[in-house]
A = this chain, B = another copy of it.
């Protein structure tokens, strides 16, 4: 008997009418002979309201354990309502809070990690022929307090539950109908992918294609959970995220991702000597600022270097402040900061066995007169930093160049 974990996000359970539609969809799966465990988010908007109340009382120093107590209440509402809606359709169902479903986490309130799921109660419920409706986003700490997994944590809850139950599939229902070759709001010819590997999905997710939470993809990869991303508003297959050997298409490049959450800093005219990179990146690391792409160039006479790197846009002012505080120690002439940049990435597991992917990228951008400010690569992706004004042009050109355009 097929066992499926289904996860519905906040817009899919935003009000009783939508909850009723979710119940009807689950009923179809049950009638098709599947055993279904459901993971839910809170109603869209609820968590924001709860967070706003916390911040109204204490904008800064609030106790993360109490924050979790407050924000975990949202899923409690939706799981109970969905169980009622299912029963109303004649589908036996029972709701489980995180602790009732045996979701054990560490004590890192607000961003807890799942340590284990003791699935006995949920499994018993499923074996009795009932739908188990589980609160996503939440768990229980070792000292018996309610924890939450951080924003988007319900995806992680669903994948972890699917792993613990050895489910055949984990269906993530969302407001998009799958993973696209690139952002369809920018590139009209973007195509929905039938399949994508975990590795590619990780790159797509962390590079800004906000379909699945990165942590949930990493977890799915580690436990070989077959994840399907699909729309909760339509009734058609989505994109299956799976192992490389399940991918049959011979597609070298799977998609073009981009991220606007980038800012570039150039530390100019640093006296070139051993240890200058450490002198710059040490203070930034201490300030918990992540640095991504790094380019070092040396002046013609070999005496000075320019160091260019990217940070997230939100970190830009802090990063500049840190560098200015360490100006004497680093010994640079000036700092140039630019928040109007985007990172565009070509992603595909096929790159491992195919040369020329990066070359085609650079040539395509050059042909459009787009200057590349920095480059980084991994086994399955090539990323470039370009001026933000060229973002749409770059995406469309690359999408065509790699033969991804749909009908």
Interface on A for B, CB 8 Å cutoff? 16, 19-20, 50, 53-54, 56-58, 61-63, 65-70, 72-74, 76-77, 79-81, 83-85, 87-88, 94-95, 97, 100, 121, 144-146
Contacts and interface: CB of A to CB of B under 8 A. Distances in A.
A83 B69 contact: yes
B76 A70 contact: yes
B85 A67 contact: no
Which of A16, A69, A121 is packed against the most chain B CB atoms within 10 Å?
A69
How many identical subunits does the complex contain?
2
18 contacts: A20-B57, A50-B77, A53-B81, A58-B85, A58-B87, A58-B88, A63-B87, A66-B80, A66-B83, A66-B95, A67-B80, A67-B84, A69-B76, A69-B95, A73-B74, A73-B76, A97-B146, A100-B144
B76 A72 contact: yes
A-B pairs, 5 with minimum CB distance? A70-B80, A69-B80, A73-B76, A66-B83, A73-B73
A79 to B, nearest CB: 7
Nearest to A79: B69
A206 to B, nearest CB: 31
Contacts of A57: 16, 19-20, 81, 84-85, 88
A380 to B, nearest CB: 43
Contacts of A121: 144
A88 B63 CA distance: 9
Contacts of A144: 100, 121
Contacts of A97: 69, 146
A99 to B, nearest CB: 8
Contacts of A146: 97
Contact of A16 (B53, B66, B85): B53
Given A66-B95, A69-B76, A77-B50, A84 B58 contact: yes
Contact of A70 (B62, B63, B66, B81): B81
